[in-house]
Amino acid sequence: MRTVLALAGGPLRAARASGGAGARLTPGALAVIAFAVTTAFALSVVGGLRGFEGRAADPTSDVMADLAPTYVTLAWIAVVLLIVPLVSLGAGAARLGVARRDARLSTLRLLGVTGPQTVALTALETAQQGLVGAAIGLAGYGALLPVWTRIPFMGQPFTAGEIWVGVPVLAATLVVVPLVAAVSATVSLRRVVVTPLGVARRTTPPALRWVRVLGVVGAVGAFTVVAKVQLGFEGAVVTVILLGLLGLVLGTINLLGPWTISLLARVMVRRATTPARLLAGRRLLDDPKAAWRVVAGLGLAGFVAGIVSVLPGLAAATGDGDTADRLLAQDLVTGGILTLAIAFAVAAASAGIAQAASVLDRRQEYALQHLAGVPVELFDEVRRRVVVAPLALVAGTSAAVALVVLLPLFGMALVTAPQGLLLLAGCLLGGGLLVVAATETSRPLMRAVLRETDVRPG
Amino acid sequence: MSVPLPPPPPPAAASATAPAAVVPPAAHAAARLSARGLVKTFGTTTALAGVDVDLAAGESLAVMGPSGSGKSTLLHCLAGILPPDAGTIALEGREIGRLSDRERTLLRRERYGFVFQFGQLLPELPAEENVALASMLLGTPRARALDLARQWLAALGLAGMERRRPGELSGGQAQRVAVARALITGPDVVFADEPTGALDQTTGADVMRVLTETTRAAGASLVLVTHDENVASWCSRRIEVRDGRVVGA
């Protein structure tokens, strides 16, 4: 353990050690930011759930007493929808830390440091970053509280007290986030431990197999069949089954994503006529899972957007109902859009962090290419294409899948209330622009990297 | 003792099939690249203190010197990577020392080729696309660029390895790909910074043979920075840099 502690460098020490252009935005700092964003939004979501649970337990009006239990269920659905991108962002942060340490850890392995020591070293360093990120995330959660207290639900906004998660949860966060970070980093590090040379080679990765599609087809098919036939179950049972299958469909999107991106990349490579298109296609084909991780949050957001698009139809259908029905319909739209906004924010954070990490990881490659005359505009275009191509594909496809899946539930409401589709298009466009803007934040970092003229690897 | 050399590879055939934009210019009788009174400082450190260098067409020049002597800075200035603080640099009689950053990038892309120690090949591209990319950057259509790249790879002894990625090539093979990439555009001058620094002696000698012979056959000049006498011996001329000055030629 003493060896591990001696080898472990804190995030700040790692930041200083990296030097050069990256000293201003180290992978360690990026990981801390990602942990902070994950923590702030996760606490906000939990706070919202607590708020609804509080209103269900202690309603202040008949309408609230009537609606609150339904809202608790819907809040849980929102938690499930957001948990994937949040966990994905957190895991990405852990991997980010590991990726930059791969070379050093491989060298340590070759020098004789044992596998368990390598794992412990990585877990310790990533847990440090997780702790710092969680602490910053707590502050972020506090800063977001006034924002959430402006949004009305059941006719009145939450008070800060209603969505305050409490000191025990905050304290637990400071333990759980570093722990999850350490576990995620440990899993990511398996290949270094298994083979010390494994991370040093850049070879052709095995192609993703088409059988991934079968899982998605099966989940969507099961959902559609149950929705149509209902299998003779009572209404409540069907709802539970449908929600379960909805979760399954959601999960299989993660299975389908990388495979779809690899297909897109093959088309891009085959049809590329310019260096930028060729490079972008090759980069996506090289690691479609990494590209998917960047846009996975948006894929989910697209799915949510598809759901949101049918809600105005639902609200219109209940327009003649009582106060509770109208409130529920309005709040469904509000909650859907809120979920979507958080998903987009998380996706933008993922994209920005992944792009900055990519620039840092490829700093020597970029610098050498530039010295050989490759213009900076080419790098910018490649960076943009690597994000925008899968972004358009994933957001559009997942929204379409959501519409298809929900058609049996809401049917003609889509046609009778086309404003929902307009809302969908607007959300996707706005979210897409947000993600593109987030990727552009790495432009200054790229310029700083290209100013390096040391042509010999350190 | 020099290694017996096989006949040079057929770059002439490759050049003959090259598009007009990338055909190497005709040989020049006078100095192709000429520097006078080059001065470059970094803070209080003087890296170059008035260097004069001439490089003829087809000539290969080894720049030697200990670490910190200024040899890499000299290469960077001659290659348009760094602008000198004082002095002039002329390529084919045209002053290039005062070009803007954008103009210098264009110069490097169109008129120069580069071979670094390692790491210049893009890891996700197969060998043929790594080579073709340099030509595509000059506007050559992809199919034509790939055809040229395959010719260059075959000429450098890499036939059958066109689809391999850098991680699937040995160090020597990867450097041959880098040489092909540097030459496919028909450059006036190839700059090589410790091109064998990451290779064993035998492989390094093989790469130097390929680099010097192919560069000469393509009509390009070569500026090579090294601290290795064996590597420098492959060049037709050498200069020694110490404390920012040329002290031996």
For residue B2, is it within any domain? no
Q: Is residue B103 part of a domain?
A: yes
Higher pLDDT, A258 or B77: B77
Residue B156 placed within a domain: yes
User: B68: domain range?
Assistant: 11-248
Query: Which chain A residue is nearest to residue B113, measuring alpha carbons?
Result: A372
* B136: nearest CB among A202, A275, A368: A275
Instruction: Answer yes or no: is B15 within a domain.
Output: yes
Looking at beta carbons, which residues of chain B come within 8 Å of A274? 136
Q: Percent of chain A scored above 70 by pLDDT? A: 69
Instruction: Give the pLDDT score at A159.
Output: 93
Chain A residues in contact with B142 by the CB 8 A cut-off are 272-273, 278
Q: Is residue B6 part of a domain?
A: no
pLDDT, tens digit, 9 for 90 and up, residues B85-112:
999 999 998 899 889 988 999 999 999 9
- Cβ of B76 within 8 Å of Cβ of A364? The answer is no
What CATH number is attached to the domain comprising B66?
3.40.50.300
- Average pLDDT on A277-306 reads 81
Q: How many domains does chain B have?
A: 1
Lowest mean pLDDT among A40-44, A194-198, A418-422, A447-451: A194-198
Question: Average of pLDDT values for B118-122?
Answer: 83
Of A275, A278, A457, the CB nearest to B119: A457
Q: What pLDDT shows up at residue A333? A: 75
What pLDDT digit, counting tens, does each position of A388-411 carry? 898 888 777 777 777 776 666 666
Count of pairs with CB atoms under 8 A, one residue in A, one in B: 93
pLDDT in tens, A42-98: 899 899 999 999 998 988 888 888 888 888 888 887 777 677 677 777 777 776 666
B168 contacts on A by Cβ (under 8 Å): 203-204
Q: Is the CB of A272 inside 8 Å of chain B's CB atoms? A: yes
The 3 state secondary structure assigned to chain B is CCCCCCCCCCHHHHHHCCCHHHCCCCCCCCEEEEEEEEEEEECCEEEEEEEEEEEECCCEEEEECCCCCCHHHHHHHHCCCCCCCEEEEEECCEECCCCCHHHHHHHHHHHEEEECCCCCCCCCCCHHHHHHHHHHCCCCCHHHHHHHHHHHHHHCCCCCCCCCCHHHCCHHHHHHHHHHHHHCCCCCEEEEECCCCCCCHHHHHHHHHHHHHHHHHCCCEEEEECCCHHHHCCCCEEEEEECCEEEEC
% of chain B at pLDDT higher than 90: 68
Chain B CB contacts of A268 below 8 Å: none
Residue B93 within any structural domain of the chain = yes
Q: Judge whether B26 lies within some domain.
A: yes
**Better-predicted residue by pLDDT, A126 or B125:** B125
Q: Is residue B227 part of a domain?
A: yes
Contact B197 A372 (CB under 8 A): no
